[in-house]
Amino acid sequence: MTASKPLVGVIGGVGPQATAYFLDMVVRLTDAARDQDHLDMVVLDHASIPDRTDFILGRSTEDPGPVMADDARRLAAFGADLLVLPCNTAHHFVEQIEAAVDVPLVNIVDETVAEVARRVPGLRATGLLATSGTVHAGVYQRALAAVGADCVLPDEAGQAALMRIIYEQVKAGRPVDLPALTGIVADLRERGAQAVVLGCTELSVAAADHRLLEADRALVDSLDVLARRTIERAGARVRG
């Protein structure tokens, strides 16, 4: 690729539907008047990558880290100038991925926390809706602490309901229990969250399908943030 047109490499398939929604977001959010104004991208939709949450929680011995690191090498060999990984839980393994290549990675966790801090001056507390793997890994807790904010998590029942939404509904292609999801958001707000992060890209799928971001400006969708930052890092403009 020419220096003026970076090639974006997508480590995808985690999960497949979230990857498809990410690509659609990038296209829709790019300020483009013709085909040539859009990003050049190569997508490795590697759906058979071992489950990230199962490994983090010790329910599986299949380590997805080396698999994703190898995918990063494959994309780098193809000529990718920057990498994106549209999965929050997978960012537990980001050090392995970054150590495998010299290509920079747009970090969905760091970019999302930066967006929350931008939207909420004097940020003190942010709610997090994420897989149990992401919660256990602590990637958002550390990023929020770095900007001086606490992380408000669902209670045990709320987290269990959230995992059902992610795994048994969105990933399984079944209808989403929207009242349960909005109820968890409301609970985090009542407990002091000034904003609530959709820190799982399956929840981003649900938000897009039900237009949740239009109805609630305090929701910050990590996949939407990643799409916008990818466009900017690739040298294009985000549609106003």
Taking CA atoms, 91 is separated from 97, 101, 121, in Å, by: 9, 15, 26
Query: Tokens at residue 112, please?
Result: 């999302």
CB 230 within 8 A of CB 11: no
Q: What's at 54, amino acid-wise? A: D
- Residue 206 phi, psi dihedral angles, 5° rounding: -60, -40
Q: What is the DSSP string of 87-115?
A: -SGGGGGHHHHHHH-SS-EE-HHHHHHHH
Q: Which of the residues are catalytic?
A: 87, 200
Query: Tokens at residue 81, please?
Result: 């100038």
